[in-house]
Amino acid sequence: MDGDGDPVGWGLTRRIALGRVLSSQSGRGNTLPDTLELRTPYQQGPPSLPPLAPRTAPDERPARRTLLDQIERLEQELSSVFVSTWPRKGFEFSVASRGGPRLLSLAELELLRDDLATRVDDARRSLSDRTYVEEKHRCRIEEMLLAPEEHKWVRIGNDDIGEPGCKHWHVRPRMGVLGILMNWWRVKISSGCPLAKGPCAP
């Protein structure tokens, strides 16, 4: 028996077992290290820097010059279409205002160019449709002159063929009712616009 009342060797065996338990717990990480490891922020990578702002503004002059050249070319094309439509009516050539005389930004110049391009395309398409109809009317006038009995009461004016003036071609019967009964028809061509009348006499 030892001093604690345990059999001889029992205390030694208990201390050895306790040491094994403590060593096994320390191997599983249940004990705190004597010193804490401190990691500096630079071990995770250098801090990200904010992007640098450009010291000088980008030069807009080349882009502005290109847009102005395109606008000038579109305006010339629109003017050419306008001249080609005379004396026809019913075409739209106006472009929306940009708020008075001032220096337009690049975005506003792009919008103006797109509006002009759309206006030119619409005007060309309308003029093409109108000239097609006018050519059909010219062909019909020739047919009326060759065979008026096949185009009874047909009337075509200068407006229908895209020309100024009041001239018109009208298929009418010869000699009134007798011409209708005998199928005598002719093309009557007007002499032009009526003369302007002055003020009536008192």
pLDDT in tens, 28-70: 555 544 444 545 554 555 667 777 666 656 778 888 999 999 9
Residue 68: CA atoms inside 13 Å, Cβ hemisphere, count?
A: 9
Q: What is the pTM of this model?
A: 0.58
With a cut of 70, say whether residue 76 has pLDDT above it: yes
Residues 92-100: what's their mean pLDDT?
A: 75
Residues of the chain above pLDDT 90, percent:
36
The structure tokens listed for 143 are 């047919």
- Count Cβ atoms below 10 Å from residue 190 Cβ, excluding itself: 15
Give the containing element (helix H, strand E) for 170: strand 168-173
Residues 125-152: what's their mean pLDDT?
A: 93
Higher-pLDDT residue of 193 and 103 is: 103
Instruction: Look at phi and psi of residue 127 and say left if phi exceeds 0, alpha if psi is from -120 to 50, else beta.
Output: alpha
The three-class DSSP label of residue 26 is helix
Average pLDDT, the chain: 78
With a cut of 60, say whether residue 23 has pLDDT above it: no
Residue 170: phi, psi to the nearest 5? -135, 125
Residue among 159, 77, 163, 73 nearest 123 (CA): 77
Q: At what angle do helices 61-85 and 106-146 cross, to 10 degrees?
A: 20
Residues 12-19: what's their mean pLDDT?
A: 54
pLDDT category of residue 17 using cuts at 50, 70 and 90: low
Which pLDDT does position 56 carry in this prediction?
Answer: 59
Residue 175: CA atoms inside 13 Å, Cβ hemisphere, count?
A: 6
Which pLDDT does position 47 carry in this prediction?
Answer: 65
**Under 8 Å CB-to-CB from 162, ≥6 apart: which residues?**
87, 88, 130, 131, 134
Which pLDDT does position 2 carry in this prediction?
Answer: 47
- CA distance linking residue 98 with residue 164, whole number of Å: 35
**Segment among 4-13, 112-121, 170-179 with least mean pLDDT:** 4-13
**Contact present, 94 and 79 (Cβ < 8 Å):** no
- CA distance linking residue 126 with residue 88, whole number of Å: 11
